[in-house]
A and B are shown apart, each in its own frame.
Chain A
Amino acid sequence: MIMNLQVSSSPHIRDTVTTKSLMRDVIIATVPAIAASGILFGLRAVLIILISVFSCILFEYISRRIMKRDNTISDLTAIVTGILLAFNLPPTIPFYMVVIGSFFAIVVVKQMFGGLGNNFVNPALTARIILSIAFPNDMTNWSALRGAFHFVDSLSGADLVSSATPLAILKTQGLEGAASLPSYLSLFLGDKAGCLGEVSILALSIGALYLISRKVITLWIPLTYIGTVMLVTGLVGKDPVFELLSGGLVLGAFFMATDYVTSPVTRNGRILFGIGCGLMTAVIRLYGNMAEGVSFSILLMNILTPHLDKFTMPKPFGEVKKHGKA
Chain B
Amino acid sequence: MSFIQAFSGGVHPKGNKNTHDFPSIRLDDFSSVEILLQQHVGPPCVCVVKKGDHVDVGQLLGRADHPMSVPVHASVSGEVKDVSFVISATGAPVEAVTIESDRKYTVATSCTPPSIGSREDFIKMVREAGLVGLGGATFPVHIKLNPPKGSEPDVLLVNAAECEPYITSDYRQICEHPDEIIDGILAVMKWISIPRTIIGVENNKPLATGILDHELSKRRLDTKKEINITVKSLKTIYPQGAEKMLIYALTGRKVPPGKLPHDVKVLVMNVSTLRFIGKYMKNGIPLVRKRLTLDGSALNTPGNVNVPIGARIPDVIAAAGGTKEEPSKIIMGGAMMGFALDRIDCGIIKANNAILVFGSKEAKIPPESPCIHCGRCVTSCPMNLMPTGIDQAARLQDTENLEFYYVIDCIECGCCTYSCPAKRYLTQSIRNGKTLVRAERTRVQQEQKLREAEKVRLAEKEGRA
- A interface list, Cβ under 8 A from B: 1, 3-15, 17-19, 21-22, 75, 115-118, 260-267, 270, 309, 313-320, 323
Partner of B244, one of A265, A266, A317: A317
In the bound complex, residues from chain B placing their C-beta under 8 Å from that of A11 are 335-337, 414, 417-418, 427
For residue A10, which residues in chain B have a CB less than 8 angstroms away from its CB?
331, 333, 335-340, 412, 414, 427
Q: Does B440 contact A (CB under 8 A)?
A: no
Contacts of A3 in B (CB 8 A): 326-327, 330, 344
Cβ of B23 < 8 Å from any Cβ of A? no
Known contacts A309-B386, A313-B405; is A22 also within 8 Å of B427 by CB? Answer: no
Identify which of B182-190, B192-200, B206-214, B361-369 touches chain A.
Answer: B361-369
Number of interface residues of B (CB under 8 A): 71
Residue of B365, B372, B427 touching A19 (CB-CB under 8 A): B372
With A5-B327, A316-B384 as contacts: A13 and B335 at CB distance below 8 Å:
yes
Instruction: Find chain B residues with CB under 8 A from A116 CB.
Output: 369-370, 372
Q: B376: which A residues are within 8 A, CB to CB?
A: 17
Residues of A within 8 A of B110 (CB): none
Q: Is the CB of A265 within 8 A of B386?
A: yes
CB distance from B344 to the nearest CB of A (A): 7
- With A18-B366, A19-B422, A317-B244 already in contact, the answer to whether A309 and B389 are too (CB < 8 A) is yes
Residues in B with CB closer than 8 Å to A115 are 370
Question: How does the 8 Å CB contact mask read for B366-401 relative to A, with 1 for contact and 0 for none?
Answer: 100111111111110011111011000000000000
B401 CB, min distance to chain A CBs, angstroms: 10
Residues of A within 8 A of B254 (CB): 317-318
List of A residues within 8 angstroms of B165 by Cβ: 13
Q: Which residues of A contact B371 (CB under 8 A)?
A: 117
Query: Which residues of chain B come closer than 8 Å to A266, judged between CB atoms?
Result: 375, 378, 386
9 A-B pairs, CB-CB below 8 angstroms? Answer: A5-B340, A7-B341, A9-B431, A12-B340, A12-B363, A15-B11, A265-B374, A314-B378, A314-B385
Give the distance to chain B from A311, nearest Cβ to Cβ, in Å.
Answer: 12
Contact present for B419 and A17 (CB under 8 Å): yes
Q: Which of B257, B329, B344, B405 is in CB contact (< 8 Å) with A318?
A: B257
What are the residues of chain A within 8 A of B244 when measuring CB–CB?
317-318
A264 CA to B375 CA in the complex, in Å?
8
Q: How far is the CB of A125 from chain B (nearest CB, A)?
A: 16
User: Is B345 an interface position by the 8 A CB rule?
Assistant: yes
User: Which residues on the B side are within 8 Å of A7 (C-beta)?
Assistant: 329, 340-342
Q: Separation in Å of the B241 CB from the closest CB of chain A?
A: 15
Are A6 and B363 in contact, with the CB atoms below 8 A?
A: yes
Inter-chain contacts of A4 with B (CB < 8 A): 326, 328
* B257 close to A316 (CB less than 8 A): yes
- The CA of A320 and the CA of B343, in the complex, are separated in Å by 42
Chain A CB count within 10 A is highest, among B342, B404, B417, B431, for B417
Which of B371, B375, B412, B419 is the most central at the interface, judged by chain A CB atoms within 10 Å of its CB?
A: B375
Kindly provide the distance from the CB of A60 to the nearest chain B CB, expressed in whole angstroms: 14
B409 CB-CB contact with A under 8 Å: yes
Instruction: Given A6-B329, A13-B418, output 20 extra A-B contacts at Cβ < 8 Å.
Output: A1-B314, A1-B344, A3-B327, A5-B329, A5-B341, A6-B363, A7-B340, A10-B331, A11-B418, A13-B165, A13-B335, A18-B423, A22-B374, A116-B370, A117-B372, A117-B422, A260-B375, A266-B375, A317-B244, A318-B255
> Is there contact, CB below 8 Å, between A15 and B344?
no
Q: Are A317 and B375 in contact (CB under 8 A)?
A: no
* A18-B418 Cα distance, complex, nearest whole Å: 11
User: Hey, which chain A residues are within 8 Å of B378, CB to CB?
Assistant: 265-266, 314
Among residues of A, the one whose C-beta sits closest to the C-beta of B384 is A314
- Is residue B72 contacting chain A, with contact meaning CB distance below 8 A? no
Chain A residues within 8 Å of B259, by CB: 318
Q: What is B's interface to A at a CB cutoff of 8 Å?
A: 7, 11, 13-14, 165, 244, 248, 254-257, 259, 314, 326-331, 333, 335-345, 356, 358, 363, 365-366, 369-379, 382-386, 388-389, 404-406, 409, 412, 414, 417-423, 425, 427-428, 431
Q: Is A15 a contact partner of B419 (Cβ separation < 8 A)? A: yes
- A14-B345 contact given A260-B375, A318-B257, CB 8 Å threshold: no
In the complex, the answer to whether A319 meets B406 with C-beta atoms within 8 Å is yes
B431 touches A1 (CB 8 A): no
B425 partner, pick from A1, A9, A19, A316, beta carbons under 8 A: A9
* A residues near B339, Cβ cutoff 8 Å: 10
Q: How far is the CB of A309 from chain B (nearest CB, A)?
A: 7
Alpha-carbon gap, A264 to B379, bound state (A): 12
Report the minimal beta-carbon distance from A38 to chain B, rounded to whole angstroms: 29
Q: Find out whether the CB atom of A316 lies under 8 angstroms from the CB atom of B409.
A: yes
Q: How far is the CB of B388 from chain A (nearest CB, A)?
A: 6
Residue in chain A with minimal CB distance to B256: A318
Min CB gap A110→B, angstroms: 11
Cβ–Cβ < 8 Å partners of A267 in chain B = 379
B370 & A13 in contact (Cβ 8 Å cutoff) = no
The answer to whether B421 and A9 touch across the interface, beta carbons within 8 angstroms, is no
Bound CA span A116–B370, Å: 7
- Bound complex: CA A265 to CA B371 (Å): 12
Question: B373 to A117, Cβ gap below 8 A?
Answer: yes
For A6, A21, A317, the residue with the greatest tally of chain B CB atoms inside 10 Å of its CB is A317
Q: In the bound complex, what is the Cα–Cα distance between A21 and B422 (angstroms)?
A: 10
Q: Are B372 and A260 in contact (CB under 8 A)?
A: yes
A317 to B420, CA, bound (A): 21
Q: Cβ of A260 and Cβ of B374 under 8 Å apart? A: yes
A260 to B375 Cα, complex, angstroms: 8
Task: State the Cβ distance, A67 to closest chain B Cβ, in Å.
Answer: 14
- CA separation between A282 and B96, bound complex, in Å? 73
Q: In the bound complex, how far is the Cα of B376 from the Cα of A238, in angstroms?
A: 38
- Which 8 pairs between the two chains have the least Cβ-Cβ distance? A11-B414, A265-B375, A9-B428, A117-B370, A318-B254, A314-B384, A260-B374, A11-B336
Q: Is the CB of B386 within 8 A of A319?
A: no
Smallest CB separation, B435 vs chain A (Å): 12
Q: Are A8 and B340 in contact (CB under 8 A)?
A: yes
Q: A5-B340, A11-B337 are in contact. Are A261 and B372 (CB under 8 A)?
A: yes
Within the complex, what minimum Cβ distance (angstroms) separates A320 from chain B? 5
- Give bound CA distance, A261 to B421, whole Å: 13
Cβ contact within 8 Å between A22 and B365: no
* Distance (whole angstroms) from the CB of A326 to the closest CB of chain B: 11
